[in-house]
A and B are shown apart, each in its own frame.
Chain A
């Protein structure tokens, strides 16, 4: 029995290693904000969501599978939440039965396993009942298969067999075991056997064996009997305890996979409250360059500010390099983050924050952001930047996407752009997509003058009044940034005034 709600053919891999750059990704894309909303205080949901976001799906088909399951979830939110709760309860109930302090007695292991399995059996009945009731309301391949499996595998006949087995394991007629003779004529290969049905008379007239009785006060004798029973029950205790683990594993997987969808429901509900649009993106196969969006916004910003969040339209299909220049505080960083978030959310099977999005699947998302920390150590900063670029270079491959935010700006522009130029050129030649936010005119202009078909230049715009629009629009890099504006806004005076004074 497999849950298979995250993948059509395999379990969600909770053990898989996160990508090497995951810490930078979390920090740079402010993923914790999104994750906090997803988890809604549930640590387990947080971990599952984090993993689902960071370990993306490799192709549009896999994404479509989750999007369909997700669609069912959005429509049957209450049922899905109930299923998640049931899985959690089953696990909690099981844990309330103690395995025993030390694993030294198969008889004790067996008795705990029987109790645990009896509890599970109740939850399996409930699960089956839910499947019977709600299956027709679900239409995704994932849920259809899942419910069909529950109805088929957990039918009454099967659950009857389980209860029977559990009853037999309480040994109402004593324990029967077979054995053979080993070295020194000691018993070996003790195997627990199901006694043959035998009527009262049959038992009385059975002459095929011999008996003896342990005297009441023979403590050593009873201990010896106990050890013998331990030998006999060792294998069956193992088999049942492992079965408990397997059923437990089933509930763990059910809870894990549902945790992701419930987490997505949490986000969807929060964004809906704020009237923010969400949509299922159209994933495009790896290799093709697709990035076209209407109203693409930064979900994290939307979740924190609650203010009006500006969405951007982008048409970057066929582009390998998107270079963003323009005014400070003009929404460049926000845009960059919205691209990164949309990429991760798309590849986890989630909806995205946009009116529409069509985007290609990528091999991995990398970020290289200017870091605000240790600004005092000017000499060490370029060092530090290069030190962070180096592991990226060793992990990045073709069809990855690298998001750069003011990279190599910690040194002078000539030096910085020279380094950046070489890095970017090398990455492009290796088939990596690059989205680069920079105020280095030398760098941006250099690429612009090459007139590459595969490069798109966006500019953070401003209205005629100098007010930021926070909107990006296509535009060639300009030799000045808008620092003057900021200056004026902060100082209430122009740069010229300051110079004149």
Chain B
């Protein structure tokens, strides 16, 4: 570990985790990822970043408020253009370095491997030096990036790195100075030192310069370049090496000596910072579409949660891409309220609302900015989701039972610090059953004091206790077929939609009276 080599100069280790969370245990995708469409978000934000293997970071929510703040502060710095630019430039450099190393691994001929290895180290040295220089000029606030700055400075100043950089440059320069000739005569190839023989194309241009008549066609041929060499090139290069024995033995020794050139902490930063960059890049077009993200106030104790102008991030990404508008929604739970019971016409945004609530909580626990303004969220111990399953179950009773089994499991495992997203539970059963079972489930959740969104068609569930809050999806009053996708806080009224649609077709009570009565 380079930290040892640098002594106690700096204690920086990770841009993602505060000291005590260093263990990177193997993480798997949480159960609810699919239900909340977090899998879609993860897939598209890690597209093109596969080499960084970002998924484990997204599978690890934080429970500690301080740990969340650590990331908030880093993000605060990264959202400043110069900081982001410096980090991106560094990442690009490291990327080039890795593609050089990929060539080292792919190619067979030693002198080629050596040269690409040299190039990789040179790229690395440049990236580190540039990062140091740029971070030094920036005003940083976050502990994470200040720690990094100090670390990189100490590393850059270390004798070891200085020696590496100097030696790299020396070998690079020596190779750049090599200039040779190839003389092909029949089947005989002669490799020699270049000795100032005149350039024939210049001579030709001069000889015919007097005829210049304006722009002409470019006759240069693009001859394909391959990374590897054929045996003729290899033979030529071997002879070039014989002409310049010192330069090439310098190169060879360099490679043997510096196999472990990459500093662990620098390498780790390169990977981890992509967690932020990927997310910021992912939300950028959504922000450009006029939507707001904010860093939520988080608490591991208070279950007073709220958000205004919040939205489903996965859905918004698609809508913004298509140029469609995104409907935002608000919610608020104030002690003793814990459960949002969402009812109202179908396809009115109830599921989206439920998903949004879950996404917000999860993204907050990753220490990331969340979709919405003025957001306050609870750091849960776990998120549980229950979404209707598509699988064929032979009988209705089978399906109902299956649902109950899963809900039971959730209630067994959930604690008062959990967040539950229950979407359209019991949608396939009778009202009476749904009312009975639903009431029971909602009461249990209420007793748990867990935060919950409960989407249902059963009005009565919305007013079971002081812990429930009723919200409804809404329609345009004049044309009930048109959804607003607004979910608003108001008493459940399953008849409202029916009245509106009847009015539209002049089939309300009064309308029918008038039409029928003479």
Interface residues of A (CB under 8 A from B): 1, 11, 103-106, 109, 153, 161-162, 165, 168-169, 173-181, 183-187, 191-196, 206, 208-216, 220-222, 224-225, 227-232, 234-243, 245-247, 249-250, 253
Q: How far is the CB of B412 from chain A (nearest CB, A)?
A: 61
A24–B133 Cα gap in the complex (Å)?
69
> Would you mind naming 25 contact pairs between A and B with Cβ atoms under 8 Å apart?
A11-B214, A104-B221, A165-B204, A173-B185, A176-B183, A177-B183, A177-B184, A178-B180, A178-B194, A181-B175, A185-B114, A186-B225, A187-B233, A193-B199, A196-B195, A208-B195, A210-B239, A210-B242, A213-B188, A214-B189, A232-B182, A237-B220, A239-B202, A245-B216, A246-B213
- Is there a chain A Cβ closer than 8 Å to B218's Cβ? yes
Q: How far is the CB of A243 from chain B (nearest CB, A)?
A: 3
Q: Which B residues are CB-close (under 8 A) to A165?
A: 203-204, 207
- Is there a chain A Cβ closer than 8 Å to B243's Cβ? yes
Q: How far is the CB of B118 from chain A (nearest CB, A)?
A: 9
Q: A11-B213, A236-B200 are in contact. List 7 more A-B contacts (CB 8 A).
A: A109-B221, A174-B186, A193-B199, A195-B197, A209-B191, A214-B187, A246-B216
A497–B115 Cα gap in the complex (Å)?
110
- On whether the beta carbons of B212 and A235 are closer than 8 Å, the reply is no
Q: Which of B114, B187, B202, B237 has the most CB of A within 10 A?
A: B187
Q: How far is the CB of A202 from chain B (nearest CB, A)?
A: 13
A403–B183 Cα gap in the complex (Å)?
72
Beta-carbon nearest neighbor of A99 in chain B: B219
Provide the B80-113 mask, 1 if CB < 8 A to any CB of A, else 0.
Answer: 0000000000000000000000010001000110
- On whether the beta carbons of B183 and A195 are closer than 8 Å, the reply is yes
A249–B210 Cα gap in the complex (Å)?
12
A235–B204 Cα gap in the complex (Å)?
10
A67–B188 Cα gap in the complex (Å)?
63
- On whether the beta carbons of A185 and B207 are closer than 8 Å, the reply is no
- On whether the beta carbons of B204 and A239 are closer than 8 Å, the reply is yes
Q: Which A residues are CB-close (under 8 A) to B223?
A: 106, 227, 230-231, 234
- On whether the beta carbons of B200 and A193 are closer than 8 Å, the reply is yes
Q: Which A residues are CB-close (under 8 A) to B233?
A: 186-187, 224, 228
A220–B111 Cα gap in the complex (Å)?
21
Q: Which A residues are CB-close (under 8 A) to B216?
A: 242, 245-246, 249
- On whether the beta carbons of B240 and A181 are closer than 8 Å, the reply is yes
Q: How far is the CB of A433 from chain B (nearest CB, A)?
A: 36
- Is there a chain A Cβ closer than 8 Å to B208's Cβ? yes
In order of increasing CB-CB distance, the 6 nearest A-B pairs are A174-B185, A209-B192, A249-B213, A243-B208, A193-B197, A224-B232
- Is there a chain A Cβ closer than 8 Å to B29's Cβ? no
- On whether the beta carbons of A249 and B181 are closer than 8 Å, the reply is no
Q: Which A residues are CB-close (under 8 A) to B182?
A: 176-177, 179, 187, 228, 232
- Is there a chain A Cβ closer than 8 Å to B179's Cβ? yes
A88–B495 Cα gap in the complex (Å)?
93
- Is there a chain A Cβ closer than 8 Å to B253's Cβ? no
A142–B50 Cα gap in the complex (Å)?
71
Beta-carbon nearest neighbor of B194 in chain A: A178
- On whether the beta carbons of A194 and B188 are closer than 8 Å, the reply is no
- On whether the beta carbons of A185 and B198 are closer than 8 Å, the reply is no
- On whether the beta carbons of A192 and B200 are closer than 8 Å, the reply is yes
- On whether the beta carbons of A192 and B192 are closer than 8 Å, the reply is no
- On whether the beta carbons of B116 and A183 are closer than 8 Å, the reply is yes
- On whether the beta carbons of B201 and A153 are closer than 8 Å, the reply is no
- Is there a chain A Cβ closer than 8 Å to B176's Cβ? yes
- On whether the beta carbons of B220 and A1 are closer than 8 Å, the reply is no
Q: Which B residues are CB-close (under 8 A) to A168?
A: 200
Provide the B141-172 mask, 1 if CB < 8 A to any CB of A, else 0.
Answer: 00000000000000000000000000000000
Q: Which of A173, A195, A209, A234 has the most CB of B within 10 A?
A: A209
- On whether the beta carbons of B211 and A249 are closer than 8 Å, the reply is yes
- Is there a chain A Cβ closer than 8 Å to B229's Cβ? yes
- On whether the beta carbons of B221 and A191 are closer than 8 Å, the reply is no
- On whether the beta carbons of B187 and A240 are closer than 8 Å, the reply is no
- Interface on chain B toward A: helix, strand, loop, or mixed SS? mixed
- On whether the beta carbons of B200 and A178 are closer than 8 Å, the reply is no
The residue that A179 contacts in the complex, of B179, B201, B211, B229, with Cβ under 8 A, is B179
- On whether the beta carbons of B210 and A1 are closer than 8 Å, the reply is yes
- On whether the beta carbons of A214 and B232 are closer than 8 Å, the reply is yes
Beta-carbon nearest neighbor of A222 in chain B: B187
- Is there a chain A Cβ closer than 8 Å to B514's Cβ? no
- On whether the beta carbons of A242 and B217 are closer than 8 Å, the reply is yes
Given A183-B119, A195-B197, A209-B192; A246-B208 close (CB under 8 Å): yes
- On whether the beta carbons of A246 and B212 are closer than 8 Å, the reply is yes
The residue that B213 contacts in the complex, of A174, A231, A239, A253, with Cβ under 8 A, is A253
- Is there a chain A Cβ closer than 8 Å to B447's Cβ? no
Q: Which A residues are CB-close (under 8 A) to B237?
A: 185
- On whether the beta carbons of B232 and A210 are closer than 8 Å, the reply is no
- On whether the beta carbons of A221 and B232 are closer than 8 Å, the reply is yes
Q: Which A residues are CB-close (under 8 A) to B114?
A: 185
A215–B216 Cα gap in the complex (Å)?
41
Q: Which A residues are CB-close (under 8 A) to B199?
A: 191-193
- Is there a chain A Cβ closer than 8 Å to B504's Cβ? no
Q: Which A residues are CB-close (under 8 A) to B235?
A: 212
Beta-carbon nearest neighbor of B103 in chain A: A184
- Is there a chain A Cβ closer than 8 Å to B178's Cβ? yes
The residue that B219 contacts in the complex, of A173, A194, A228, A242, with Cβ under 8 A, is A242
A247–B214 Cα gap in the complex (Å)?
11
A174–B181 Cα gap in the complex (Å)?
13
Beta-carbon nearest neighbor of A183 in chain B: B119
- On whether the beta carbons of A238 and B219 are closer than 8 Å, the reply is yes
- On whether the beta carbons of B220 and A174 are closer than 8 Å, the reply is no
Q: How far is the CB of B246 from chain A (nearest CB, A)?
A: 15
- Is there a chain A Cβ closer than 8 Å to B397's Cβ? no
- Is there a chain A Cβ closer than 8 Å to B230's Cβ? yes
Q: Which of A104, A236, A239, A246 has the most CB of B within 10 A?
A: A239
Q: Which A residues are CB-close (under 8 A) to B205?
A: 239, 243
Q: Which A residues are CB-close (under 8 A) to B518?
A: none
The residue that A225 contacts in the complex, of B176, B219, B232, with Cβ under 8 A, is B232
- Is there a chain A Cβ closer than 8 Å to B318's Cβ? no
Given A194-B197, A195-B197; A225-B184 close (CB under 8 Å): yes
A230–B201 Cα gap in the complex (Å)?
14
Q: Which B residues are CB-close (under 8 A) to A183?
A: 115-116, 119
Q: Which A residues are CB-close (under 8 A) to B202?
A: 239
Q: Which B residues are CB-close (under 8 A) to A216?
A: 187
Provide the B232-269 mask, 1 if CB < 8 A to any CB of A, else 0.
Answer: 11011101101100000000000000000000000000
A168–B220 Cα gap in the complex (Å)?
20
Q: How far is the CB of B93 from chain A (nearest CB, A)?
A: 16
Q: How far is the CB of A256 from chain B (nearest CB, A)?
A: 11
Beta-carbon nearest neighbor of B202 in chain A: A239
Q: Which B residues are CB-close (under 8 A) to A232?
A: 182, 184
A296–B107 Cα gap in the complex (Å)?
85
Q: Which of B187, B204, B205, B242 has the most CB of A within 10 A?
A: B204
- On whether the beta carbons of A210 and B208 are closer than 8 Å, the reply is no
- Is there a chain A Cβ closer than 8 Å to B515's Cβ? no
Q: Which A residues are CB-close (under 8 A) to B220?
A: 106, 234-235, 237-238
Q: Which B residues are CB-close (under 8 A) to A235?
A: 201, 220
A231–B232 Cα gap in the complex (Å)?
14
Q: Which B residues are CB-close (under 8 A) to A184?
A: 103, 107, 112, 115-116, 119, 227, 229
